[in-house]
Structure formats: C-alpha cells, structure tokens
Amino acid sequence: MPGEFDFIEWLCTQHRASDLVAVPQGDDLAVLNWPAGELLLVGVDQVLDGVHFDAKIHDAQSIGRKVMNRNLSDCAAVACLPAAAVVAAALPLGAGLDYAKELYLGMREAGEKCGCVIVGGDTGSWPGKLALSVTILGRSGGVGPITRKGARAGDGIYVTGPLGGSILGRHMTFEPRVQLARTLAQTGQITAMIDLSDGLSRDLGHICRQSGVGAVIDAEKVPIHADAKALSLRDGRDALNHALSDGEDYELLFTASDELSNAQGVVRVGTITQESGIWLTRGAERKRLEAVGWQHAM
C-alpha cells in the first residue's frame, strides 16, 4: 500500500522554481528569502467535507482549487500579492495516492495563476472525512494592506460583481479578485475592504463594526446574480435576499473615498454613515438590514 512517503517523494518531483525559495520542501521546514522591506501577510483558510464541498460530488482537483482560491481571495481582501503557501491535508483512510495528487494539482494550478507557490505541507490519513487547510503568505509589493478599519462617513460602498446563489456551483469555481484588488488599491482611494465569504450583510457588518461607522445600502443598486434569481424561483425567497445574505460570493466589498466608475469593474451599492447600524433603502422606505449571513455554530 502506498504511504505518505511515496506522496512526499512524488511532491519533490513537482517543485516549481521560485526566487523566494532558498531550500525547497523535503526538509522539516521550507526556507524562504523574504524580500527586505516587504510586509508579510499571513492567514489560513480550510475546506471541510460536508461544509465547503461534498467529496461525493466534487472532484479532487476542484476541491484543491477551492481551498487555494479561498486563500487567494483573502489576499485580494487586503490587496496583497500572494507569494507562498503550505498545505495540511487530512485524508480519509484509503483515499489513495492519486486522489492526494489531484488535490495537490488543483491547489497548484489555482496558486500559479496568482504567482503563489506551494512550499510545504503535512499529509495524514485518518478515519474521518477530508479536511484541507492552506496557509498563505502574501507580500505588500509596494501597496499598503487594506484593512477593515478605514471606512469613513460619506465613503461609497462597492462590490465587484453580482451576488447570491453561489451554492448552485460558483462557490467551487470562482476566480479570486487578486488583480482587481491591486488595481483598486493603487488608486489610493480604497478605505476598507473584505472579500464576500459570509454574505454581504454580515461582511459589511465586519467593516462597519471595525471602522466604527454605519451604512445604507440601496436595494435597487445591489447586483443580483442569475444564480440568486434561479434559486429564488426554487425556494421562494426573494432574489435580493439571496444577494444580501448568501455566503461564498468571493467578490470584494469595499469602501472608497472618491467616486469610482462602473468601467473599473465595480458597482456602487450604498454609502457609509456616521450613524451606526446597517440600513436597506428602497425609495423612501428604509429598514434595518439584519446580518443573516453564514457563521459556523460551535
């Protein structure tokens, strides 16, 4: 029966050259030459069978791409350049060497599109379901990281694409907005940013709470994805409701001090306010927008 060392041996043939890597994987830790003067951004994001994907439905490469893309989307959220990643994989007993390779190839493909190399990992088998986590290292690359804290009253609120209904499939196939985030951040006008993983209402709540502000969203401006409309026909829930509260859009939600145009690939959906609370307006009508997006129970 093949074991983890067969996998590690195969991995050692899969190296991609990188200026960053001083000692490639195969040792206890990978050794990187971190560029002087560059901030190091680091975070981790995992995908779990039955929560973020379904191993009975989704193939290994898609699962691998998703976990890497979630991390790349975190890089987009702070507008940094993805640089390197390490992976922890808990594989169901008997998943097999080929399955592990497919997971890796999916992760590598997604990473390479954004300049991110996989430099290490830990693989284990267990009598449990597939759990896959990626830790990503990003570098500032001349652009100060955008946090969630800088939104100010009067700032416009923007999203980078139509929202809602990603559960119909987009949650596995989205493209992280790494390049767009850099372009936006380079304008110097972005005051706060987050990627939409928990749903607009909840993620906007994170920005507002951390910035100490409130927000008004114009219901008629929120771009509704065709998937949200399709889902609405099925479940009878309003399509706007899906757009406001479904998770895993992986578009960017940000605030800007100056007006940006649609030509920049963004849509203005509202305005930051001094007054706290998040409100949804439609003409003269105004109601509180509840944060009903996704969170893990504990």
Contacting its own copies within 50-89 (CB under 8 A): 50-52, 74-75, 77-78, 80, 84, 86-88
Which range, of 115-123, 171-179, 224-232, 237-245, touches its own copies by CB under 8 A? 115-123
The Cα–Cα gap between 115 and 288 comes to 41
Token pair listed for 254: 């940000």
Q: Please state the closest distance from residue 134 (CB atom) to its own copies, in A.
A: 9
What DSSP designation does 136 have? E
Give the per-residue contact string, 240-279, with its own copies (x = CB under 8 A; - = no): ----------------------------------------
Give the HSE-up count for residue 28: Cα atoms under 13 Å, Cβ half-sphere: 0
Q: Nearer to its own copies by C-beta: 149 or 286?
A: 149
Least distance from its own copies to the Cβ atom of residue 87, Å = 7
Q: State the Cα–Cα distance between residues 253 and 201, nearest whole angstrom.
A: 10
The correct pick among 4, 59, 112, 218 for binding its own copies (CB under 8 A) is: 4
Taking the C-alpha atoms of residue 218 and residue 222, their distance in angstroms, rounded to an integer, is 7
Q: Which of 191/232 has CB closer to its own copies? A: 191
The one segment of 120-128, 151-159, 215-223, 232-240 that binds its own copies by CB under 8 A: 120-128
Is residue 119 near its own copies by the rule CB under 8 A? yes
Distance of CA 242 to the CA centre of its chain: 19
Q: Assess 172 for contact with its own copies (CB under 8 A).
A: no
Calculate ∠ Cα 266-269-275, nearest 5°: 135
32 touches its own copies by CB under 8 A: yes
Cβ-based nearer residue to its own copies, 131 or 240: 131
Q: Which residues pair with 247 in a beta bridge?
A: none
Q: Which stretch binds its own copies (CB under 8 A): 117-125, 156-164, 170-178, 211-219?
A: 117-125
**CB crowding 210-224: b at 16 or more within 10 Å, else e:** ebebbbbbbbeebbb
DSSP string, 47-96: EEBTTTB-TTTS-HHHHHHHHHHHHHHHHHHHTPEEEEEEEEEEEETT--
Residue from 11, 116, 117, 131 touching its own copies (CB under 8 A): that is 131
Number of Cα atoms under 13 Å in the Cβ half of residue 241: 10
Told to check if 142 binds its own copies by CB under 8 A, we report no
**Is position 212 an interface residue for its own copies (rule: CB under 8 A)?**
no
Within 10-29, the residues that bind its own copies by CB under 8 A are 22-23, 26-29
Using CB under 8 A, which of 43, 141, 223, 265 touches its own copies? 43
Stretch (H or E) spanning 131: strand 131-139
Q: Using the rule CB under 8 A, is 97 a contact of its own copies?
A: yes
Structure tokens at 100: 């592990």
For its own copies, give the closer residue by CB, 4 or 238. 4
Contact 27, 122 (CB under 8 A): no
Q: Which of 58, 59, 105, 135 binds its own copies (CB under 8 A)?
A: 135
Which of 110, 114, 115, 123: binder of its own copies (CB under 8 A)? 123
Which amino acid belongs to residue 258? D
**Subset of residues 179 to 198 that bind its own copies, contact rule: CB under 8 A:** 194-195
